[in-house]
Amino acid sequence: MNKDGHFNREELKHALKDLGSFFPGWRAQCAFKKIDANNDGQISGEEIDSLLEYLHSHGFGK
């Protein structure tokens, strides 16, 4: 992560891999389709809250 306060698809993929996700690339793609509301290729601002909710609902952080 480059610590810029945003997640791009590749950064999310690496984070999901570190969390033990099976198929982290696919999971990152699904997350982006659902969460990247403004389609800018980054998850930032309020989208990060949505990302955390998404991850929690898919078994991460339990």
Tell me: the pLDDT tens digits for 26-52?
Answer: 999 999 999 999 999 999 988 999 999
Q: Does residue 32 sit within a domain?
A: yes
* Residue 47 falls inside a structural domain: yes
Give the pLDDT mean for 5-16: 93
* Per-chain mean pLDDT for the chain: 91
pTM of the model: 0.84
Instruction: Report yes or no on 56 lying in a domain.
Output: yes
Q: Provide the CA 39 distance to its chain's centre, in angstroms.
A: 14
Total number of domains in the chain: 1
